[in-house]
Chain A
Amino acid sequence: MTTHLAIPKTYKLYIGGKFPRSESGRTYEVVTHKGAFLANAAKASRKDARDAVVAARAAVSGWAGATAYNRGQVLYRIAELLEGRRAQFIDELRSSSGLSESQAQREVDTAIDVWVWYAGWADKYLQVSGNGNAVSGPYFNISTPEPTGVVAILAPQDSGLLGLVSVIAPALVSGNTVVVVASESSPLPAISLAEVLATSDVPGGVVNILTGSPAEITPWLASHADVNALDLAGGSALEWVDLQIAAAETLKRVLPPEMGIPAPALDRIQLFTETKTVWHPKGII
């Protein structure tokens, strides 16, 4: 009986809908929780981060300009594809973080459910967060939240999949595009997620994923003038206050780090939106 010789996957970055290696040519070793070699993941440089922001910005008008219904459909389709790759993700989580079969199953199933929860908000959050306003005077007045633009996200570092999904999905709902720095120790599910995105209907550049050293990369995103918001969810081990100060230079909207994995919340969608209020006179003669 012949055994099948495995073909190991090459883990690259995900930028603009494509899978480039780091322009720096660097990689770093990813090991199992026991210390055995798993793969060489790309080690993103500041130039990769720069390119990712360019790709994310270019994708904003298409993604924000799509109908909410369309965004909801695209996000739901991603859930369908995640479901299809359930076994692959369970496998990856087990090998990288040492989770048991049932723990890994639970994490993957929860990640899918979180994604579906957020997908369903696309055409609804406006009805909950926006409204007409009863101003004094003959004016029609309406407030609607709009996507802020490009959101840079430092994903939770201790969770390969669920943490990642919990920070990416809410930012996308309203039409933002994202640049995500994955978990340093557990980056492989992030690239598998990128494969799901690449085979879904989400346009290139809407989600960009960088693997490597958050300490090295995040400061460049925090100070980047073309990034509108910064989610430091996975930043508790970094000098994150300095990052927040750097972000303040261009008045970015900043979310400080959270312990553990952020729970699904409407807040997380609203935080990355800007509310626009429009006035229009009303008169019949």
Chain B
Amino acid sequence: MSFLEYAPALESKSILHLRKSYGLFIDGEFRDGHGTPFTTISPADESPIAEIAHADATDVDAAVAAARHAYENVWSRMSGRDRGKYLFRIARLVAERSRELAVAETLDNGKPIKESRDVDVPLVAAWFFYYAGWADKLDHAGFGPAPRALGVAAQVIPWNFPLLMLAWKIAPALAAGNTVVLKPAETTPLSALIFAEILQQADLPAGVVNIVTGAGDTGSALVNHPDVNKVAFTGSTAVGRAIAKSTAGTGKKLTLELGGKAANIVFDDAPMDQAIEGIVNGIFFNQGHVCCAGSRLLVQENIHDEVVERLKQRLSTLRMGDPLDKNTDIGAINSKAQLDRIRALTDVGEAEGPQRWSAACTIPDKGFWFAPTIFTGVETSHRIARDEIFGPVLSVLTFRTPAEAIAKANNTPYGLSAGIWSDKGSRILGVADRLKAGVVWANTFNRFDPASPFGGFKESGYGREGGRHGLGAYLSSGWNTEAQQALPGRAPSTKERSKPKNTTTARATTKGATK
């Protein structure tokens, strides 16, 4: 065996104490769902992990009612200082149980343990820690002298960063004084359910956070529920579009974080080795299951051949395999459905003309796998330059001048992120100015921080998560003058908003959430 094959270095699963089946987390405890339970599997070998409850419309109703009750009676009456203390507790507990959470995340999602351990879970703890400190400082946040919470927030998150997306949603919502009903993705419910156990350890008042597992119907029932004041969605642009349509005119505040087809622009004066790392990190981190992935490499034409050659060389030491092995760089594709989508699009790519190259990887028999792939000779009119593949597939295009790079980078309905590689500061800042992207990374890529706002332009969505800006999504400024009230189609005042919209529905819930 050659040294580079590295002996197995498996992270043990013994740290987990999984249940055979998980209920819905509503009003501080686990309870059965009314829908048909389903199984969550490990995408690395298709083995079953646990049985998961399926929330139907009545379950969603109960969850919203619990959130409403907790908002009216507990959370909105609590001082920001105390809300902050609960969030600090959660942050500390996540840090304490970080290894367990990382293993669970890798098992359920398929991403390498190296990433869950070093990126996902530390960011989760940091996100709660950061927003904990805002809870008692809302008057300093720049949203007016007395910003108010919105009420109950409905949150639907994707499968690519399950626990991290949960943190991005719950932390600011709670800090701002809202209560939450969150629906994890169908294929990745596990870490959210362990998180629910952490909430019990933190003694968070019942109903402040509710977690309803299920499928598309669950999410739909949740975002369309009449007693929800705010909807936050991260996922595909198609679903985001549908939610924008269904919430129109309802008065619900909406933020969306959708897809992307980011351009990673490499100029001929880029720091070469670091640029190669940045390209690799940009598209192969998390198997390319990243909305802000640098999926289009825009390389200056005069260095194209050198860059492609170095890239291919660099990919020869990328390791694809058991996600629980600490040396794995590329894990499993999250689901059969996603794998099929990636395959379909890469077949299209090949048919369109570009040249396809894949890293030499052993594909295991079981599980869902796709070797890192590079398409060269891609042009702006090819589908693989426009459609989000959401997999480890890089499309390589060229440009001649900075203006052309900018034009090609912006030539997309998406606008989530972009990368710029150059040794020249003025060029980086000048190009960054002109890119229509919510996050611009210069001489780096895929860097996240709770203090740094993240979100898109155009069809990549609206609203920001992270930083001071991320609070704004969960606050109303409180500047509700009577004149504003009088305008047709205006959202109801904060006072009115805190009453349930549909009182008959509310009364029908088991908890009797109305006052």
B:124-183 near A, CB below 8 Å: 126, 129-130, 132-137, 140-142
Residues of A with C-beta under 8 A to B135: 120
By size class, the interface of chain B is 20 to 34
| Nearest CB in chain B: distance from A264 CB, A | 9
Contact flag A127-B433 (CB < 8 Å), given A116-B85, A280-B426? no
Hey, which bits of chain B sit against chain A, CB under 8 A?
Answer: 81, 84-85, 88, 126, 129-130, 132-137, 140-142, 401-403, 406, 425-427, 429-431, 433-434, 449-451, 467-468
A-B pairs with beta carbons under 8 Å apart, 17 shown: A69-B126, A69-B130, A69-B451, A73-B129, A76-B129, A116-B88, A117-B137, A119-B133, A120-B134, A124-B130, A124-B133, A124-B468, A266-B140, A281-B430, A284-B403, A285-B401, A285-B402
Is the C-beta of A283 less than 8 angstroms from some C-beta in chain B?
yes
Cα(A103)–Cα(B13), bound, Å: 50
Quick check: is A204 within 8 A (CB to CB) of the other chain?
Answer: no
A120 and B451: CB pair below 8 A? no
In the complex, the answer to whether B426 meets A281 with C-beta atoms within 8 Å is yes
Counting chain A residues whose Cβ lies within 8 A of the other chain, the interface size class is 20 to 34
What CA separation (Å) do A284 and B429 show in the bound complex?
8
Which of A86-127 touch B at CB < 8 Å?
113, 116-117, 119-124, 127
Q: How far is the CA of A57 from the CA of B176 in the complex (A)?
A: 38
Give Cα distance in the complex from A285 to B126, angstroms: 39
Given A68-B451, A128-B142, A266-B140, the answer on whether A120 and B132 have CB atoms closer than 8 Å is yes
CB pair A76–B88 under 8 Å, yes or no, is yes
Inter-subunit contact A116/B429 (CB<8 Å):
no
Assess the A282–B430 pair: CB atoms within 8 A: yes
Chain B residues in 8 Å Cβ range of A124: 130, 133-134, 137, 451, 468
Q: Give Cα A123–Cα B126 distance, bound, in whole angstroms.
A: 11
Q: Which chain A residues in 117-171 approach chain B with CB under 8 Å?
A: 117, 119-124, 127-128, 138, 140
With an 8 A cutoff between CB atoms, is A72 at the interface? Answer: yes
Asked if B406 and A284 make an inter-chain contact with CB atoms under 8 angstroms apart, the answer reads yes
Interface contact B130-A123, CB-CB below 8 Å: yes
- The reply to whether A117 and B426 contact each other, CB–CB distance below 8 Å, is no
**B-side contacts of A73, CB under 8 Å:** 129
User: Which residues of A lie under 8 Å from residue B136 when comparing CB positions?
Assistant: 117, 120
Query: Within the assembled complex, what's the spacing in Å between the Cα atoms of A124 and B139?
Result: 13
Given contacts A76-B88, A124-B133, 11 further A-B contacts (CB under 8 A): A69-B126, A69-B450, A69-B451, A73-B129, A116-B88, A119-B133, A120-B84, A123-B130, A282-B426, A284-B402, A284-B406
Contact B137 A121 (CB under 8 A): yes
* Contacts A69-B130, A140-B429, A280-B425 given; does A128 touch B468 at CB 8 Å: yes
Report how far A284 CA is from B433 CA in the complex, Å: 10
Q: How far is the CA of A283 from the CA of B130 in the complex (A)?
A: 35
Q: Is the CB of B430 within 8 A of A283?
A: yes
Contacts of A284 in B (CB 8 A): 402-403, 406, 427, 430-431, 434
In Å, the complex CA distance between A127 and B133 comes to: 13
A12-B468 Cα distance, complex, nearest whole Å: 43
* A118: nearest chain-B partner, CB-CB: B133
- Specify which chain B residues have a CB less than 8 angstroms from the CB of A113 in the assembled complex: 81
Is the beta-carbon distance between A120 and B133 smaller than 8 angstroms? yes
B131 CB to closest chain A CB, in angstroms? 9
Tell me the bound Cα distance from A11 to B314 in angstroms: 61
Q: Convert A263-283 into 0s and 1s, putting 1 for each residue whose CB lies closer than 8 angstroms to a CB of B.
A: 000100000000000001111
C-alpha spacing A262/B221, complex, angstroms: 51
Neighbouring B residues of A69 by C-beta, 8 Å? 126, 129-130, 449-451
User: Nearest Cβ distance between residue B456 and chain A, in whole angstroms?
Assistant: 20
Please report the C-alpha to C-alpha distance between residue A121 and residue B137 in the assembled complex, in whole angstroms. 9
CA distance A72 to B426 in the complex (A): 33
- What are the residues of chain A within 8 A of B401 when measuring CB–CB? 285
CA distance A184 to B275 in the complex (A): 60
The docked-state distance in angstroms from the alpha carbon of A128 to that of B142 is: 8
- Which B residues lie within 8 Å of A72 (CB)? 129-130, 133
Shortest Cβ distance from residue B229 to the other chain A in the assembled complex, whole angstroms: 25
Per the bound structure, the CA–CA distance linking A123 and B468 in Å amounts to 10
Nearest-CB residue, chain A, relative to B139: A266
A76, B427: Cα distance in complex, Å:
40
Of all A-B residue pairs in the complex, the 9 with the closest CB atoms, nearest first, are A120-B133, A282-B430, A284-B430, A284-B402, A282-B429, A281-B426, A127-B468, A140-B429, A283-B426
Q: With the chains together, A208 CA to B135 CA distance in Å? A: 31
Cα A123 to Cα B130 with chains together (Å): 7
Minimum C-beta distance from B89 to chain A (A): 10
Query: B467 contacts which chain A residues (CB < 8 A)?
Result: 127
A120: chain B residues at CB < 8 Å are: 84, 132-137
CB of A116 within 8 A of CB of B451, answer no
Which A47-99 residues have a C-beta within 8 angstroms of B? 68-69, 72-73, 76
Give the residues in chain A near B133, CB-CB below 8 Å.
72, 119-124
Q: A68-B451, A120-B137, A123-B451 are in contact. Are A280 and B429 (CB under 8 A)?
A: yes
Q: Are the CB atoms of B84 and A116 closer together than 8 Å?
A: yes
The one of B81, B402, B431 in contact with A116, judged by C-beta atoms closer than 8 angstroms, is B81
**Complex: how many Å from CA A69 to CA B450?**
10
Kindly list chain A residues whose C-beta atoms are within 8 Å of the C-beta of B468. Answer: 124, 127-128
Residue of A nearest to B469 (CB): A127
Measured CA separation A119–B84 after assembly (Å): 11
A140 to B427 CA separation, bound complex (whole angstroms)? 11
Query: Considering only CB atoms, which chain B residue lies closest to A264 in the complex?
Result: B136
Q: Name which residue of chain B comes closest to A266, CB basis.
A: B140
Closest residue of chain A to B95 (Cβ to Cβ) is: A73
Chain B residues with Cβ under 8 A from A119's Cβ? 133
Alpha-carbon separation in the docked complex, A247 to B140 (Å): 32
**Nearest CB in chain B to that of A123: its residue:** B451
Query: Measured between C-beta atoms, what is the minimum distance from B295 to chain A in Å?
Result: 23
